[in-house]
Structure 1
């Protein structure tokens, strides 16, 4: 069978192609987010029980324009990040990661939820003034 004949039999829509070649429906689920913003807290680095470093920080992104601007805060967690000292408060970053929903019971006995971004990659777009210039990728 020729390659042209094979290609003509493939579905035209990418999602239908995934359904045809996927073994489970769960492979179609995606929960990824991309954020450009400034680091709003100094990154906190701890060690997990298995020795992996865990870095937690927050990124603020501003949406809207003029007097209709609002700031959204995003909690970020990074596992085994090689050099957390490169992340500094005020740095402008491009962040990509997966959304992670956390449900916990507070001291008041009520259930609370928060959404955290589990970092896949981060690129430093600019550093705060006085911290050096240049574009870095982490």
Structure 2
């Protein structure tokens, strides 16, 4: 029996098999990975309506050749408790290059002029600093 015939005879058995790849419950959330993105500004700590503090920052993504470059901006938020991780994140200066993994959430709202707008927010799950920017004086 040829290799291809053996593969075809084993495929139906594999198609019927199911395997759990995660012990956690399934959630309908879009995941996003932002690689080699640049901090637009130093992260800021803000209070939510419930009084919990959230760290917010924006990252820029450039696409295309230098003479026709487009920049996309992504707003990122994370809930980091007080401590070394939070202090490190809030000390990252503008221009730092990062790798961000998170949950993407799209929302719609009406702006001050009455127009419907959409907003994409990323809730950070993982952050790796690839290059720390130099603080501006």
TM-score tier after normalising by the smaller chain length:
0.5 to 0.7
Alpha-carbon distance between aligned partners in 2 of 1:113 and 1:130, rounded to the nearest angstrom: 32
TM-score calculated relative to the size of structure 2: 0.68
**Corresponding residue of 2:61:** 61
28-37 or 108-117, which deviates more: 28-37
Deviation digits for residues 63-122 of structure 1 (CA, Å, limit 9, x no counterpart): 234534322111111122541323321111111111111211111222211111111111
Number of residues of Structure 1 aligned to a counterpart in Structure 2: 118
Structure 2: runs of 5 or more not aligned: 1-10
User: Using CA pairs below 8 Å that are at least 6 residues apart, which structure has the higher relative contact order?
Assistant: 2
**Corresponding residue of 1:11:** 14
Alpha-carbon distance between aligned partners in 2 of 1:78 and 1:10, rounded to the nearest angstrom: 43
Matching residue within 102, 106, 118 for 1:101: 106
Q: Is the 8 A contact 2:101 2:127 kept in 1?
A: yes
Alpha-carbon distance between aligned partners in 1 of 2:125 and 2:74, rounded to the nearest angstrom: 14
C-alpha deviation, 1:42, in angstroms:
2.3
* RMSD of aligned residue pairs (Cα, Å): 3.3
TM-score calculated relative to the size of structure 1: 0.67
SS at match of 2:18: helix
Structure 2 CA distance for partners of 1:88 and 1:129, relative to 1, 3 Å: closer
32-41 or 104-113, which deviates more: 104-113
Alpha-carbon distance between aligned partners in 1 of 2:75 and 2:58, rounded to the nearest angstrom: 5
Deviation digits for residues 3-45 of structure 1 (CA, Å, limit 9, x no counterpart): xxxxx986359xx736xx69xxx93745111112110022121
Alpha-carbon distance between aligned partners in 1 of 2:14 and 2:125, rounded to the nearest angstrom: 31
Question: Radius of gyration: which is bigger?
Answer: 2
Q: Is the 8 A contact 2:42 2:90 kept in 1?
A: no
**Corresponding residue of 1:75:** 75
